[in-house]
Amino acid sequence: MTKVLVVDDVADNVKLLAYELADQGYDTIEASNGPQALELAKAERPDVILLDIMMPGMDGIEVCRRLKVDPILEPIPVIMVSAREREEDVIRGLDAGAYDYITKPFNSQIVAARVRSAARAKGAHDQIAILATTDSLTGLPNRNRLQEHLACCVASDRENDKFFALLLLDLDRFKEINDTFGHHYGDAVLRELNPRLSTAVRGHDTVARLGGDEFGILLPGVDRSGAVRTAERLLASLERPFVVEGQSVEIGTSIGIALYPEHGRDPATLMKRADVAMYASKRARSGHAVYTARQSDLNPERLTLISDLRRGIGEGQLLLHYQPKVDLATMRTTKVEALVRWLHPREGLIMPDQFIPQAEQMRLIKPLTLWVLETALAQCRAWHEAGIDLDVAVNLVPDSLQDSELVSTIADLLKSSGAAPDWLTLEITESAMMSDPAHARSALKRLHAMGVKIAIDDFGTGYSSLAHLKDLPVDEVKVDRSFVKDMSLNDRDACIVRTVIDLGHNLGLHVVAEGVEDSPTHALLTSLGSDIAQGYYYSRPLPATDIPDWIRRSTKSLAPVGMASQR
Ligand code: C2E
Ligand code: CA
Ligand code: CA
C-alpha cells in the first residue's frame, strides 16, 4: 500500500489531510515538526511526503533540503504545502527539490490527484531501481548493486564495516562449456550457481553476478582468515558436478581476494586488485589467492602506453568518429555523437574504453576533453557552413563537472569556434551528480542558460533518480545500451525501456535509445514512442568525411533497412 507522510505543525491540517488520504486508500503517518518528519522518513521510508512549508523551528524548505541530500531518502517525492498567497514559498520549495505543491485551503480532488501523480512517479522509480540492480538470468544482484554496496561499506562509519573483503570468482573454461553444449546449457549452469554460492555465505553478505561467468562477493566485517575460509567454502560448493539435461560437467573456479582497507580504500582499486588476485590464482591453479603487490607487476606495456597518451594528445594522434542519432519520427539524422579514438603509431587504433579510464587517473582527461570539444565544435561549424544542419554531442567524464573552469572554457570554445551554443549537447552520466551535487547542478544550470543542451547518458545503470531529472536542466535521457540490446527478446528489459520512455516524456525530455542493433529492436522502440535511436543498425561511428554522404543517403531513403551494412 502507498504510504504517505503528512507533516504540519497545525494538528487540524494533519488530521484533515490524513483523513482525505485514508479515504483514498492511502496508508498515512504523521509528524508535527521538521526533526520528527526526518526521523519518520528514515524509519518508515514513505512513498510520498506532504510537507508544510511554514513550521516553527526547522521549516519545510530546510526539511526538503535535508531529504534531498540523503541518497536513500532523495527519491521520495515531496509535495510542498503552502498558503495560497505565498507564491515565493512555492518557488523556494521547488528549488529545494520538491516534486510538486498544493495550497491551503485544500481542494481535496487536487490533493488526491497530486498525491497520485507523485506516487506513480515513485512507483516508476522503484521499479527501475529493482530492475536495474538485479541480474535477470540468475536473479542475483548485478554489478551496479555490488558497486553500490561497496561504496556504502567504504563510506560507512559502522564498526562492522571497519574492514571487509571483496572476492571475485570466475569460472575456468566456461567458454568451452558454452561452445560444446550451447548457450542454453551454459545459462542453466549459471542459474544453478545462485543456490550453491548462497549456501557458502552469511545472510548479510552480497553475492552478485558481474557479467558472463564472473561473480563478486562482498563480505562485511570479514578479515583475511575469514575471507580465505569463505573462499574455501565457495570452492567446495562448486565441486559437485553440474547436471543439466542428463549431462554432467565439472567446473573449475578461481577466486581473487582483496581486503579493505589493506589493499585499497576505494571501490575501483579494490575491484582491480581482486581481479589481479583472481588472475594470479588462475595462473597458479590455486583455487584462491589473496592480493599481493607482486602479482600485479602493473603490466609494464600498459603503463608506457598511457604515458604515450600525453604526447599523443599534443601530436595529433587523437581522432573523432561521429555516430548518427536518428530521429525515429522522420528517420532523419539531426545530431551525431562524437566518440574519440587514439591512433597509436605502434599499436594502431585504440578504443576509448582502453584509455579514458586511465586518462582520468593520470589527469590527462582535461586536455583530452578540451581537444574533443574543440575538434567537434570546429567540425560542427564546418558542416553548418556546408549547409548540413547537424548538431554534435560530446561526452564528459563525471569529474569534469567538478572542474571550476569547465563553464568558462566551454563559453570560450563556443565563441572561438563560431558554433551556436544550441548545436552542442553534453552527455553526462548520473554519477556525475553524486560527489558534489550542488556544484554539478550549478555548472549545468549555467551551461544550459548559455543554450547548451544536456543529456543524461547510460540512464538506468546508476542511481537513477527521478528527482534529479526533474530538478535539472536536462533535455535528453539516453537509455543505456544494456537494456536496449535484448529488449526485443527480454520482457524485463522492454519494460525498463518503456518505463524510461514514459517517464522521460512526462518530464518533457527527449528519449534516446542507444545500442540498437537489429530491426525488431528498431520496430519496438518506434512503437513505444522513443524519440531518437542510435546504434549499429543505423550506422557505426563514422569518420567526419563520411558524414555528408550518410546524410544524403539517409534523407533519400526514409527506410533504415540496408544502412547498417554500409560502414
Ligand atoms: P557511450 O557514451 O555509451 O557511447 C556509445 C558507445 O556505444 C560507443 O562506443 C559506440 O561505438 C557504441 N555503440 C554504438 N552503437 C552500438 C551498438 O549498436 N551496439 C554496441 N554494442 N555498441 C554500440 P565507443 O566509441 O567505444 O565509446 C565507448 C565509451 O567511451 C562511450 O560510451 C563513452 O563513455 C566513452 N567515450 C567515447 N568518446 C569519449 C570522449 O570524447 N570523451 C569522454 N569523456 N568519453 C568518451
Ligand atoms: Ca555517450
Ligand atoms: Ca551511453
Question: For ligand 1, is residue 30 a contact (CB within 6 Å)?
Answer: no
Q: What is the pLDDT of residues 343-392, one digit of tens each?
A: 988 888 888 988 887 787 678 899 999 999 999 999 999 999 999 999 99
Q: Ligand 1 atom 38: the closest Cα is on which residue?
A: 339
Please give the pLDDT value at position 564: 46
Q: What is the pLDDT of residues 433-482, one digit of tens each?
A: 766 778 888 999 999 999 999 999 988 876 556 556 777 899 999 999 98
Task: Specify whether the CB–CB gap between 76 and 49 falls below 8 A.
Answer: yes
Q: Angle of helix 108-133 relative to helix 143-155, nearest 10 degrees? A: 100
Question: For ligand 1, is residue 21 a contact (CB within 6 Å)?
Answer: no
Element (H, E) at 219: strand 214-220
Alpha carbon of 89 to ligand 3 centroid (Å): 38
**Residue 38 — φ and ψ, nearest 5°?**
-65, -40
60 has a pLDDT exceeding 60: yes
Cα angle 472-475-480, degrees, rounded to a multiple of 5: 95
Cell of 70: 540523503
| Type of residue numbered 33 | N
Q: Give the mean pLDDT of 424-429.
A: 95
Question: For ligand 1, is residue 401 a contact (CB within 6 Å)?
Answer: no
61 has a pLDDT exceeding 90: yes
Q: Angle of helix 60-68 relative to helix 87-95, nearest 10 degrees? A: 20
Question: Ligand 1: which of 356, 424, 534 to mutate, most ligand atoms within 8 Å of CB?
Answer: 356
CA separation, residue 365 to residues 309, 372, 519 (Å): 10, 10, 37
Alpha carbon of 363 to ligand 2 centroid (Å): 20
pTM: 0.65
CA separation, residue 560 to residues 487, 522, 535 (Å): 19, 9, 12
Closest ligand to residue 432's CA: 1
296 closest CA partner among 268, 281, 277:
277
Backbone CA torsion sign across 400, 401, 403, 407: positive
- Top pLDDT among 137 and 431 is at 137
Q: How confident is the model at residue 87 (pLDDT cuts 50, 70, 90)?
A: confident
Q: Which residue has the cell 549452469?
A: 189
Q: 134: alpha, beta or left, given left = phi > 0 and alpha = psi -120 to 50? A: beta
Question: Ligand 1: which of 318, 319, 339 to mutate, most ligand atoms within 8 Å of CB?
Answer: 339
Task: Specify whether the CB–CB gap between 17 and 59 falls below 8 A.
Answer: no
Please give the pLDDT value at position 348: 85
Q: How confident is the model at residue 148 (pLDDT cuts 50, 70, 90)?
A: confident
Of ligand 1's listed atoms, the one at least distance from the Cα of 352 is 30
Question: For ligand 1, is residue 349 a contact (CB within 6 Å)?
Answer: no
Q: Which residue has the cell 558436478?
A: 241
398 has a pLDDT exceeding 90: no
CA separation, residue 194 to residues 113, 188, 229, 231 (Å): 43, 11, 19, 15
Cell of 557: 531513403
56 has a pLDDT exceeding 60: yes
Task: Specify whether the CB–CB gap between 48 and 119 falls below 8 A.
Answer: yes
Please give the pLDDT value at position 498: 93
Strands 164-171 and 214-220: antiparallel
Cell of 428: 553526462
Length of the chain: 567
510 has a pLDDT exceeding 90: yes
561 has a pLDDT exceeding 50: no
Q: Where is average pLDDT lowest: 45-54, 127-136, 209-218? A: 127-136
Question: For ligand 1, is residue 541 a contact (CB within 6 Å)?
Answer: yes
Q: Where are the alpha helices (DSSP H) in 162-263?
A: 174-181, 183-199, 224-237
Closest ligand to residue 484's CA: 1
CA separation, residue 519 to residues 333, 477, 485, 536 (Å): 17, 22, 12, 11
Task: Classify residue 334 by burial, with Cβ atoms within 10 Å: 0-12, 13-18, 19+.
Answer: middle
CA distance 384 to 361: 36
Q: Angle of helix 108-133 relative to helix 491-506, nearest 10 degrees? A: 140
- Top pLDDT among 523 and 460 is at 523
Q: How confident is the model at residue 79 (pLDDT cuts 50, 70, 90)?
A: very high
Please give the pLDDT value at position 129: 84
Q: How confident is the model at residue 190 (pLDDT cuts 50, 70, 90)?
A: very high
Q: What is the pLDDT of residues 110-140, one digit of tens each?
A: 999 999 999 998 988 888 888 888 998 999 9
CA distance 56 to 65: 16
Question: For ligand 1, is residue 353 a contact (CB within 6 Å)?
Answer: yes
| Number of other CB atoms surrounding residue 417 within 10 Å | 20
Buried b (16+ CB within 10 A) or exposed e, 159-170: eeeebbbbbbbb
Please give the pLDDT value at position 555: 77
Q: Which residue has the cell 510542498?
A: 80
Q: Ligand 1 atom 37: the closest Cα is on which residue?
A: 339
| Type of residue numbered 315 | E
**Residue 243 — φ and ψ, nearest 5°?**
-115, 115
